[in-house]
């Protein structure tokens, strides 16, 4: 006797697989129970196997990747600093100081004092000791055409500090540059008892003998008291009281110095224009210029310990050292874009940020680098990592990206 089945067909799509499952048999007959059970088990096995196949890095949930955050503005961000996975700050042009309490999901603007609220804030550092509130230190630049009223026109750089999250502010005191040689032709000098020429004792006139202050570009603190800042015309200053007072240090170079990195209170390295590398092993009493082997501007430097360090700069330049900077060797970056910052999260893993949304990543100590292109043409200026799986990069056009799980 011929047995007939009435069935409805359903298709289950799993990846590139399509399983045809026969369901709803008629009441006149039954499917063999053993065969049907085996079929179900086999189907489940196939489904689980497909779901467990490794996938490509495409920003899926649970994968480490870069994803964009909203800043709410278009400032040219110049610095980023986080103290944990939640609380961080960003600084930039037009007085931009942004703060987040949720890892960058939302940002709020911190208001600066009237004098600095529209100026460029180039760098920042935040100190935190246990349960105490953060102490913030900001390094900024007065625009050359910015009207400053009664303030001295030769001042170009400023330091701002706050210990109450911006409720009140105090000024750090940067050292002034020495006087220029007096102008004899204008009869604005006098001769003292020893016969030496000196300016007439007029405060207003003495100020005109000063060169305009150099712009200070970056700063670095080795602890909550001792730090350095560097900038134009070979300018270097150091502080021993957490940024309240600064003193000049001297070097023979007059090149623009872009970045400074300290291992401890004695060992400090600075990099700058034309491949400049400066080093001190006595806290800056004496600075020695070392050969980098490159002539391109070096815009950032990072040391993971006293021996291993990296510097990056213009035209895709990457150099590395394994002897504390005595000798440097070039690494291949596979890009000609300007590279603006470098950070290592371990002796082997590091990141570089560059122009046109370029990021470089290494897992072998900087010997080889793999490029990543963010979905932006902004110049990425600064990096900050608090763990290998948690970091941020900021740049022009108000761009912020976070690295971590989605």
In this prediction, residue 27 carries a pLDDT of 40
In this prediction, residue 378 carries a pLDDT of 98
In this prediction, residue 382 carries a pLDDT of 98
The string of DSSP codes covering 284-353 is: TSS-EEE--S--SPEEEEEESSSS-EEEEEGGG-EEEESSTTSS-EEE--S--S-EEEEEESSSS-EEEE
In this prediction, residue 7 carries a pLDDT of 39
Beta-carbon neighbour count of residue 76 at 10 Å? 18
In this prediction, residue 10 carries a pLDDT of 39
Domain limits of the chain? 8-51
pTM over 0.85: no
User: For residues 201 and 191, is the Cβ–Cβ distance under 8 A?
Assistant: no
In this prediction, residue 4 carries a pLDDT of 42
In this prediction, residue 176 carries a pLDDT of 85
In this prediction, residue 211 carries a pLDDT of 65
Provide the token pair at 358. Answer: 């370029």
In this prediction, residue 195 carries a pLDDT of 56
Point out the residues of the chain with pLDDT beneath 50.
1-32, 36, 45-60, 150, 182-188, 202-205, 207-208
Distance CA 301, CA 374 (A): 23
In this prediction, residue 15 carries a pLDDT of 38
């Amino acid at each position: 006797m011929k047995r007939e089945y009435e069935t409805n067909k359903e298709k289950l799509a799993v990846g590139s697989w399509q399983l045809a499952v026969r369901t709803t048999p008629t009441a006149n007959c039954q499917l063999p129970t053993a065969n049907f059970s085996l079929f179900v088990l086999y189907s489940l096995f196939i489904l689980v196997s497909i779901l467990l196949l490794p996938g490509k890095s495409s920003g899926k949930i649970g994968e480490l990747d870069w994803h964009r955050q909203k800043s709410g503005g278009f400032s040219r961000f110049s610095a980023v600093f986080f103290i944990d996975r939640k609380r961080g700050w960003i600084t930039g042009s037009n007085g931009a100081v942004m703060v987040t309490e949720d890892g960058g999901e939302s940002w709020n603007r911190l208001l600066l004092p009237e004098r600095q609220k529209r100026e460029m804030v180039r760098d920042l550092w935040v100190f935190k000791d246990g349960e105490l509130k953060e102490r913030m230190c900001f390094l900024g630049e007065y625009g050359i055409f910015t009207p400053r009223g009664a303030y001295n026109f030769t001042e170009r750089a400023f330091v701002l500090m706050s210990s109450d999250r911006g409720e009140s502010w105090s000024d750090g005191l940067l050292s002034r540059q020495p006087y220029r040689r007096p102008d004899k032709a204008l009869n604005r000098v006098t001769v003292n008892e020893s016969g030496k020429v000196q300016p007439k004792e007029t405060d207003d006139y003495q100020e005109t003998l000063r060169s305009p202050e150099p712009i200070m570009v970056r700063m670095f603190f080795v602890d909550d008291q001792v730090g350095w800042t560097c900038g134009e015309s070979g300018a270097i200053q150091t502080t021993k009281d957490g940024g309240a007072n600064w003193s000049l240090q001297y070097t023979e170079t007059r090149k623009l110095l872009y970045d400074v990195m300290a291992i401890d209170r004695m060992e400090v390295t600075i990099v700058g224009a034309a491949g400049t590398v400066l080093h001190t092993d006595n806290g800056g009493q004496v600075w020695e210029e070392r050969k980098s082997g490159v002539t391109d501007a070096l815009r950032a430097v990072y040391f993971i310990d006293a021996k291993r360090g990296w510097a990056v700069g213009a035209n895709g330049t990457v150099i590395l050292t394994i002897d504390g900077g005595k000798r440097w060797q070039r690494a291949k970056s596979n890009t000609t874009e300007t590279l603006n910052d470098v950070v290592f999260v371990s002796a082997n893993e590091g990141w570089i940020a560059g122009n046109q949304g370029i990021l470089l990543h290494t897992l072998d100590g900087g010997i080889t680098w793999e490029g990543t292109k963010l979905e932006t043409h902004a110049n990425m200026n600064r990096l900050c990592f608090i763990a290998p799986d948690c970091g941020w990069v900021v740049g022009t056009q108000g761009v912020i990206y976070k690295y971590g799980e989605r």
